[in-house]
Amino acid sequence: MPQRHQLAKYHRPWISCVQETMLESINDVLCASLWGNQNFGFSYRPSMGASRGILTIWDTTEVDVRITRSMARVIIIQGNMVKNGGEFAVANIYAPCDPLRRQDVWAQLGMILSNFRHLSWCVSYPKF
């Protein structure tokens, strides 16, 4: 079994979503060490207070990310698969534990999804 920092290199995902990074800053050097090679792009929300940070990282040889949206507790990437041109979007969510505040995050995301129904969506979030 590979060590944690080698998981991406071992499993070779196209996209990886991480919640609770606990990091205020993420850079190319850190992502290269996590990803295992230089073929990556990334977007992140820093850790701030009770919001513990999120990271979305992707393989640039497999997916062409054209748009990244970063808002409180959510990162959305949108693009095309390199090999077949299929359009996609991925939402990486770190929703609050409080049910009412979590409802607000889902309502905001629901509006975004309804405006982009033509895309294939993947939503990543921790279960509570």
For 31-90, the pLDDT digits (tens) are: 998 888 899 999 999 998 766 899 999 999 999 999 999 988 899 999 999 999 999 999
Note the pLDDT of residue 50.
Answer: 62
Q: Which helix (H) or strand (E) holds 18?
A: strand 15-19
- Summarised one tens digit per residue, pLDDT across range 95-127 is 878 888 888 888 888 888 888 888 999 998 876
What does the alpha-carbon distance between residue 96 and residue 73 come to, in Å, rounded to a whole number?
A: 8
> 65 lies in which domain range?
4-124
- The tally of domains found in the chain comes to 1
The H-assigned helical ranges of 14-98 are: 28-35
Q: What is the pLDDT of residue 7?
A: 60
CATH code of the domain containing 17: 3.60.10.10
| Per-residue model confidence (pLDDT) at position 1 | 41
45 φ/ψ angles, rounded to the nearest 5 degrees: -115, 125
